[in-house]
Structure 1
Amino acid sequence: MDNDRSPSNMLVLEFKEDRALTEMMRRRVSSLQRSGQKRQDGERLLLPYEAVYRLDFDNQELNFSRWYFSLSGHGRVTITGISQHWTPDLTNLMTRQLLEPIGTFWRNADDPMDSPLKWLEADMQEFGERIAELAKVRKVMYFLLALKEGAEAANLSCSVEFTPEE
């Protein structure tokens, strides 16, 4: 991070759960299960340990700076970006709309509780840059967050810092 920039120049966006969209996607899974139907070819159904989160961009001309993670306890969190503009009443989530790379951070069960979180730095850097790139054409971006190995949404804080383009 460039220490010459003033903190007021930074923009930190927190991932916020979109409960309505998560519930809508869960209803799709339930509906298919009740009716005995199969998912559409290429459709990506929401898994029980996943939820939909969003970032809202007031400023769309951004450069990625860094990630902020906080996870109390142990677990693994995987963040997958979704490329579509969401219209859940018209389109189902398709696997081809999931972005690469995904972001992952974790603390193993045998790690001390106060140990720092681990992550794949190169993937997280590329992922942050990809989000900044997509923000140029989006006011909202959606993500699937998978909470595994003991991670819980109540113990999670995840945000990303950007600097406005000059």
Structure 2
Amino acid sequence: MGEEMELPFIEDVQLTEVMRLRVQSLQQKGQKRQDGERLLLPHEAVYRLNFTQQDLAFCNWKVTIKGPGRLSVTGISQLWTPDLTNLMTRQLLEPTGQFWRTAGDPEDAPIKCLEADIQEFGERIAELAKVRKVMYFLFAFKEGAEKDNITCSVVFKNNSG
């Protein structure tokens, strides 16, 4: 019982592209976003976690960032529907996961983070896993961070053992 499992975040390229097309469409037509709609920013992408088990307990995050930069991970409460309804700001979960490495940090130095926030965020993900097979996230790459230089996963303990 209590076997650990590491779940990697997987970029959802198709969903990210659909969200980028929404932004382009609004810009081309000179329209404004809907009230409360959250548009994807150029430095953001949609990622997902696929839960093979539902009864999980959060253990820890595993994040690597090569070089300086900041990764911001925001959970989305929305269950994406086939018609890909627009993302609304009220569907973004708090807290967010903030991970960063500053210029001059040795490569073997631990990634900096807001520990209380990432602990709470990890526990919320484990709670949502009880009722979901998939969960979506917005990844924001800031301050020089690039998605090719980052790996991110969450380690859970399987309670159903």
TM-score by length of 2: 0.95
Count of residues in Structure 1 that have an aligned counterpart in Structure 2: 160
Corresponding residue number in structure 2 for 1:12? 6
Counterparts of residues 12-161 of structure 1 (less than 5 Å): 12-87=6-81, 89-161=83-155
What amino acid sits opposite 2:53 in the alignment? N
Segments of 4+ in structure 1 off by > 2 A?
A: 109-116
- 1:90 and 1:78 mapped to 2: Cα distance? 23
- 2:145 and 2:84 mapped to 1: Cα distance? 32
What amino acid sits opposite 2:129 in the alignment? A
- 2:86 and 2:54 mapped to 1: Cα distance? 26
Gaps of 5+ in 2: none
Gaps of 5+ in 1: none
TM-score by length of 1: 0.92
% same residue: 67
CA RMSD of aligned residues (A): 1.4
